[in-house]
């Protein structure tokens, strides 16, 4: 019985090390999302951090700030969603699809 538990603990430690490695790799991976036909572009990494935001001059209208705000929100939200999807995909490769609470 103790030997079986030891094997389980060893496997858990190996999986934890793999997950830590993937988390580090995800920090360097980026996703990009656009809104308004490319007028606003947002970039995020695998830590769900916004890395960059590009706004084309043509969409900057002082008379319609609300439209610009909506485009920025749409681009940022899509970039964060893509980041989450990327994290889930990479982690499922390590965990075999198991959802391990608190790991990601």
Residue 41 lies in a domain: yes
**CA atoms of 3 and 14, how far apart (whole Å):** 17
Let me know if residue 101 belongs to a domain. Answer: no
pLDDT (tens digit per residue) in 17-44: 888 888 888 889 999 999 999 999 999 9
pLDDT mean over 77-91: 94
* Residue 21 included in any domain: yes
* Distance from C-alpha of 49 to C-alpha of 83, rounded to nearest angstrom: 9
**pTM (2 decimals)?**
0.77
Note the pLDDT of residue 1: 55
pLDDT in the model for residue 97: 63
Surface-to-core class of residue 46, CB atoms within 10 Å of its CB (0-12 exposed, 13-18 middle, 19+ buried): buried
Instruction: Look at residue 103 and tell me if it is in a domain.
Output: no
Alpha helices, H only, 1-104? 2-28, 65-95
User: How high is the pLDDT of residue 6?
Assistant: 78
- Over residues 54-70, the pLDDT tens digits come to 999 999 999 999 999 99
Domain extent for 83: 2-95
């Amino acid at each position: 019985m103790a030997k079986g538990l030891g094997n389980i603990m060893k496997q858990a430690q190996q999986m934890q090390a793999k997950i830590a490695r993937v988390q580090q790799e995800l920090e360097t991976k980026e996703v990009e999302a656009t809104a308004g036909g490319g007028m606003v572009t947002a970039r995020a990494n695998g830590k769900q951090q916004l890395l960059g935001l590009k706004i084309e001059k043509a969409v900057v209208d002082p008379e319609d700030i609300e439209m610009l705000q909506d485009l920025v929100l749409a681009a940022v939200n899509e970039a964060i969603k893509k980041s989450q999807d990327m994290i889930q995909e990479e982690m499922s490769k390590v965990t075999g699809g198991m959802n391990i609470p608190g790991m990601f």
